[in-house]
């Protein structure tokens, strides 16, 4: 039997930013800190790390924190594909819905042209 997976410290550092407040609440220093925290996480994420980062997007705002939140989305997309996207609460977050839409597009049949 394998041991329990642990969440890497750099993932926990990133997770501590969430849920992400709206863009208006950020200053340049915090945006830079957030971007640095994203950059410190190497891919891929484990399922446990994905679960630690998902609360970042548990927010009513659909802004992208000056574009930096896309880095979190791209990290989440490296997690194991076990259908986790289908377990996200519907219509509770623009970012959850975006993750589901991008996942659905990636698993649909490609255009045969």
Instruction: Give domain status of residue 113, yes or no.
Output: no
pLDDT at position 33: 95
pLDDT at position 73: 92
Instruction: Give domain status of residue 30, yes or no.
Output: yes
Q: Which domain range does residue 47 map to?
A: 9-107
- The pTM score is 0.82
Cα–Cα distance, 35 to 23 (Å, whole number): 14
pLDDT one-digit tens code per residue, 18-60: 888 889 999 999 999 999 999 999 999 999 999 999 999 888 7
pLDDT at position 112: 55
Instruction: Give domain status of residue 50, yes or no.
Output: yes
Per the structure, the count of domains in the chain is 1
pLDDT at position 87: 76
Instruction: Give domain status of residue 3, yes or no.
Output: no
Q: Which residues contact 106 (CB under 8 A, 6 or more apart)?
A: none
Cα–Cα distance, 75 to 73 (Å, whole number): 5
């Amino acid at each position: 039997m394998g041991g329990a997976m642990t969440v890497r410290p750099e993932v926990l550092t990133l997770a501590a930013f969430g849920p992400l407040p709206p863009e208006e609440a950020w200053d340049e220093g915090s945006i830079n800190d957030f971007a640095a925290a994203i950059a410190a996480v190497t891919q891929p994420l484990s399922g446990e790390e994905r679960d630690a980062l998902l609360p970042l997007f548990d927010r009513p705002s659909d802004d992208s924190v000056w574009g930096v939140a896309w880095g979190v989305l791209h990290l989440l997309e490296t997690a194991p594909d076990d259908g986790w996207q289908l377990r996200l609460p519907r219509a509770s977050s623009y970012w959850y819905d975006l993750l589901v839409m991008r996942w659905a597009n990636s698993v649909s049949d490609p255009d045969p042209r």
